[in-house]
Amino acid sequence: MRLVGPSGEQVGIVPLAKALELAQEYDLDLVEVAANARPPVCKLMDYGKFKYESAMKAREARKNQAHTVIKEMKLRPKIDPHDYDTKKGHVVRFLKQGDKVKITIMFRGREQSRPELGYRLLQRLAEDVQDLGFVESNPKQDGRNMIMVLGPHKKKTEAMAEARQAQEARKAEAKANPGKSQNAAETEAPAEEPAEA
């Protein structure tokens, strides 16, 4: 077998007995790295430490992994302006987080004969959030509903990284200025002057 030493150096081709003897001498494990190679490649290493480091790398990779989520927002054609602003705020938040947003307009009764109202509402929403997202799927009628999908300009991983940096910055600021918010409130409130009698 071809043997690789503990620090990655090539020992050479050695018999199994000699490799096991070297492993005992270094107080390490003999691990087969490439079984299909001719001759097979083995390495002297601490197998427990190797498994632990592999698990930590896999955990770190999963932590940085992002799942694409499709959030849904439901509207009605005759939505109140304030309600529209609230729903638009939710869509903005979802797009900033890097999620896709499926917007559904539900038609009831006579509203079904006026699909252009829903289409205009979807176009207005797409224009309002065009700096954060783009129309991934154009509005289309699906029975009583009209559906449009908005996709974010930035990827989920970028959004997660930005959120993590912002959170770390807030923690660092809070650590640097402990009690700043309490002291700021005390200094901003003017002291009351005693009333003259």
Q: Does 194 reside within a domain?
A: no
Residue spans of beta strands (DSSP E) within 14-157: 29-34, 41-45, 70-75, 100-106, 133-142, 145-152
Strand order in the sheet with 145-152: 70-75, 100-106, 145-152, 133-142
pLDDT at 196 (0 to 100): 52
Q: Please indicate, yes or no, whether residues 138 and 83 belong to a single structural domain of this protein.
A: yes
Q: Please indicate, yes or no, whether residues 99 and 139 belong to a single structural domain of this protein.
A: yes
Give the model confidence (pLDDT) of 11-40 as tens digits.
888 888 888 888 888 888 888 888 888 888
Q: Does 136 reside within a domain?
A: yes
CATH of the domain at 95: 3.30.110.10
Euclidean distance between CA atoms 156 and 150, whole angstroms: 14
The more confidently predicted of residues 180 and 50 is: 50
Percentage, residues of the chain above pLDDT 70: 88
| Number of domain units in the chain | 2
Q: Please indicate, yes or no, whether residues 11 and 76 belong to a single structural domain of this protein.
A: no
β-strand 100-106 against 29-34: which pairing, if any? unpaired
Give the model confidence (pLDDT) of 96-147 as tens digits.
888 899 999 999 988 888 889 899 999 999 999 988 889 988 999 888 999 9
pLDDT at 193 over 80: no
pLDDT at 179 (0 to 100): 67
pLDDT at 197 (0 to 100): 45
In the three-class reduction of DSSP (H, G, I as helix; E, B as strand; rest coil), residue 178 is classed as coil
Answer whether 122's CB lies under 8 Å from 103's CB. yes
pLDDT at 18 (0 to 100): 86
Q: Please indicate, yes or no, whether residues 81 and 138 belong to a single structural domain of this protein.
A: yes
Q: Does 21 reside within a domain?
A: yes
pTM for this model (two decimals): 0.54
- Tell me which of 69-73, 119-123, 177-181 is least confident: 177-181
In the three-class reduction of DSSP (H, G, I as helix; E, B as strand; rest coil), residue 128 is classed as helix
The mean of the pLDDT values for the chain is 83
Euclidean distance between CA atoms 69 and 102, whole angstroms: 10
pLDDT bracket for residue 158 (50, 70, 90): confident
Domain coverage including residue 22 = 2-49
Q: Please indicate, yes or no, whether residues 76 and 120 belong to a single structural domain of this protein.
A: yes
pLDDT at 53 over 50: yes
pLDDT at 149 (0 to 100): 93
pLDDT at 78 over 80: yes
Q: Please indicate, yes or no, whether residues 37 and 75 belong to a single structural domain of this protein.
A: no
pLDDT bracket for residue 66 (50, 70, 90): low
Q: Please indicate, yes or no, whether residues 85 and 116 belong to a single structural domain of this protein.
A: yes
CATH of the domain at 6: 3.10.20.80
Provide mean pLDDT across the span 60-84. 84
